[in-house]
Amino acid sequence: MGLFLYIVAFVLLYILWQFKSLFFSSVRVLNPFHEDSRKTIREQVTDQKKRDEVLKNGFKPEKVPKDLDAIVIGSGIGGLSVAAILSKIGKKVLVLEQHDQGRGLLSYIHR
């Protein structure tokens, strides 16, 4: 009986090995850090009118794209990190923040 079980186990393992591509090839491991996507730091915009064009551009439901992959609630370091990683693997992400400034608790930390 013991030998029979060994043989069955061996045959099953052999079949699994032969057809492993059926089980594992469709699993694509997405590495968000596979390429260096760092960009040169852009000059800070100091013109308040130009800043307000972005900063005072409040939330409106009709502006939300229909084809989002993820919505992240809160722009603290946790939300921004997960949003950045998801977007690096090609996901379309929307970050929603209740306040008019991002960064969450990090806003309180100053040098």
Ligand X SMILES: Cc1cc2nc3c(=O)[nH]c(=O)nc-3n(C[C@H](O)[C@H](O)[C@H](O)COP(=O)(O)OP(=O)(O)OC[C@H]3O[C@@H](n4cnc5c(N)ncnc54)[C@H](O)[C@@H]3O)c2cc1C
Length of the chain: 111
Residue pair 77/103 in contact (Cβ under 8 Å)? The answer is: yes
Taking the complex as a whole, the smallest distance from the CB of residue 111 to ligand X amounts, in Å, to 12
Minimal distance, residue 81 CB to ligand X, in Å: 8
Spatial distance between the Cα atoms of 46 and 91, rounded to a whole number of angstroms:
31
Diameter of the chain measured on Cα atoms: 83
For residue 23, what is the enclosing H or E element? helix 20-24
Q: Which is nearer to ligand X, 2 or 58 (CB)?
A: 58
Closer residue to ligand X, CB minimum distance, 42 or 111? 111
Binding residues vs ligand X (CB under 6 A): 73-79, 96-99, 104-106, 108-109
Q: Nearest approach, Cβ of 104 to ligand X (angstroms)? A: 2
